[in-house]
Amino acid sequence: MLSEKTYTIGDVSQQTGVASVTLRAWERRYGLIKPQRTAKGHRVYNQGNIQDIQHILSWLNRGVAISKVATLLASGKSYAAADPVAEQWLVEQNKLLSSITELNKHGVNQMLDRLNKSVPFTTLCEYVYHPLQVTLVQRWQLQPLGYQLEQQLWQQSWQRQMLIMTLRTEKQKPQGHCYLASLDLDGTSLGYYLLHSLLLQSGLRVNAFGKVEDLAGLTRLHNNAEWPLIVYADQRLEQTAFKPLAKLGTLWKDDIICLGLASDIHHEQLTSLGIACVGGHSSNAWQSAAMKTWLEKTKR
């Protein structure tokens, strides 16, 4: 009789899109999946575990709180029969919003730690972080007293998340390598942090550069290591940026991609330079065909 095929935690993360840290949290904290262990204590997953993960994702994408998924799985209730509970995401948004407006940095950090460990990041982007950012931008446009403190707190909290995720990724076997350069000079956008997080959560080693003014200087990266490059910008680019971008396109050829709102604004110009570009939010761009093609290049 043939032995059952098993998969490492890295294999399962790649197949399902769920970060290794989240898979561990689902096992330890919530008891949602029960992988076997090798003689050396390493987790191994079977096809049944992978099916369970897909079921969990289906519930989460309906807005079910992770703490309630175990009961629903045990009940055998079908997704079609379940009541919509997308208001759970509104609860998470409002909790974060309250902590930000109260300038409660510890509260924001605690919430981001919990969410980013427990829920797949693409789900969080779509249902929590992007909608929350729309609310925050609308609030900050009114310039309430101390709004710049809120902006700094939000940005610092995401800088902390980047450090945590980077250190965690450094401990794991890399799934690939890439460069990430932000051209936003007015301050790093949430979209950049979310994209950086998605790259790290997928197991990539990311060599990231923020607020790049000297675009021509990025050519040095190609001499250092021929890793694929993401150029990110959430604002209109100066016309002087396109000459060095053309040089980058010549060097990286099919290994460069431009993401962020600048891709919507300058789509024709970027395409004429031979640079693939995907606009919209980071989570939408992440699931695009162009991005999936680019991600394959990071594994070389």
The CATH number covering residue 253 comes to 3.40.50.280
Q: Is residue 192 part of a domain?
A: yes
**Are 117 and 135 within one domain?**
yes
Percentage of the residues of the chain whose pLDDT score is greater than 70: 95
Q: Which residues fall within 8 angstroms of residue 96, CB to CB, at 6 or more apart?
A: 108, 111, 112, 128, 132
Task: Examine the pLDDT at 217 and tell me if it is beyond 80.
Answer: yes
Mean pLDDT of the 224-236 span = 93
Q: Is residue 250 part of a domain?
A: yes
Q: What is the pTM of this model?
A: 0.83
Task: Examine the pLDDT at 87 and tell me if it is beyond 90.
Answer: no
**Are 61 and 112 within one domain?**
no
pLDDT at 237: 94
Task: Examine the pLDDT at 123 and tell me if it is beyond 50.
Answer: yes
- Could you tell me which of 137, 237, 102, 100 has the C-alpha nearest to residue 181? 237
Amino acid at 196: H
Over residues 141-187, the pLDDT tens digits come to 999 999 999 999 999 999 999 999 999 888 888 889 999 999 998 87
**Are 292 and 181 within one domain?**
yes
**Are 158 and 108 within one domain?**
yes
**Are 149 and 108 within one domain?**
yes
Last residue of a domain, one of 129, 163, 197: 163
**Are 220 and 191 within one domain?**
yes
**Are 197 and 286 within one domain?**
yes
**Are 282 and 227 within one domain?**
yes
**Are 177 and 205 within one domain?**
yes
Q: How many domains does the chain have?
A: 3
As a whole number of angstroms, the distance between CA 209 and CA 188 comes to 11
Q: Is residue 281 part of a domain?
A: yes
Q: Is residue 80 part of a domain?
A: no
**Are 202 and 253 within one domain?**
yes
Q: Is residue 29 part of a domain?
A: yes
Phi and psi based region of residue 170 (left: phi greater than 0; alpha: psi -120 to 50; beta: remaining): alpha
Q: Is residue 267 part of a domain?
A: yes
Last residue of a domain, one of 121, 138, 163: 163
Please give the backbone phi and psi of residue 192, each rounded to the nearest 5 degrees, phi first. -65, -45
pLDDT at 174: 87
Task: Examine the pLDDT at 206 and tell me if it is beyond 90.
Answer: yes
Q: Is residue 63 part of a domain?
A: yes
Name the residue range of residue 239's domain.
173-297
Task: Examine the pLDDT at 81 and tell me if it is beyond 70.
Answer: no
**Are 156 and 179 within one domain?**
no
Task: Examine the pLDDT at 85 and tell me if it is beyond 50.
Answer: no
Last residue of a domain, one of 101, 128, 163: 163
- Could you tell me which of 155, 239, 168 has the C-alpha nearest to residue 202? 168
Query: Are the C-beta atoms of residues 136 and 100 closer than 8 Å to each other?
Result: yes
Domain holding 35: CATH number?
1.10.1660.10
